[in-house]
């Protein structure tokens, strides 16, 4: 019997001015995201509507991260 490894699909909403800038700097330094993480840049995390998060789960995301 083989155990299946859970590989969650994570969607991240990153603030353009804060979290996304840090993530961009990490990319310039050649750090990589895991392949199961997808990033969406938003102008401000305060503008994220609950419908965006519900839509992410509805489309199959296992988790949602908001960074601002």
Please check whether residue 60 lies inside any domain of the structure. Answer: yes
Q: What is the pLDDT along the chain (68 residues), one digit of tens a residue?
A: 678 898 999 999 999 888 878 877 877 788 777 889 999 999 999 989 999 999 999 999 999 999 88
Please check whether residue 2 lies inside any domain of the structure. Answer: no
Q: How high is the pLDDT of residue 1?
A: 64
* Structural domain span for residue 19: 10-67
CA distance 63 to 57: 7
Please check whether residue 38 lies inside any domain of the structure. Answer: yes
Query: What's the number of domains the chain is made of?
Result: 1
Burial of 15 per CB tally in 10 Å (0-12, 13-18, 19+): buried
Separation in Å, CA 62 to CA 7, 38, 55: 9, 12, 12
Please check whether residue 5 lies inside any domain of the structure. Answer: no
Please check whether residue 31 lies inside any domain of the structure. Answer: yes
Q: How high is the pLDDT of residue 60?
A: 97
């Amino acid at each position: 019997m083989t155990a299946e490894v859970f590989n969650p699909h994570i969607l991240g909403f990153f603030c353009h001015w804060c979290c996304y800038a840090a993530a961009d700097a990490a990319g310039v330094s050649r750090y990589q995201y895991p392949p199961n993480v997808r990033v969406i840049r938003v102008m401000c995390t305060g503008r994220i509507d609950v419908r965006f998060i519900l839509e992410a789960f509805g489309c199959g995301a296992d988790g949602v991260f908001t960074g601002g």
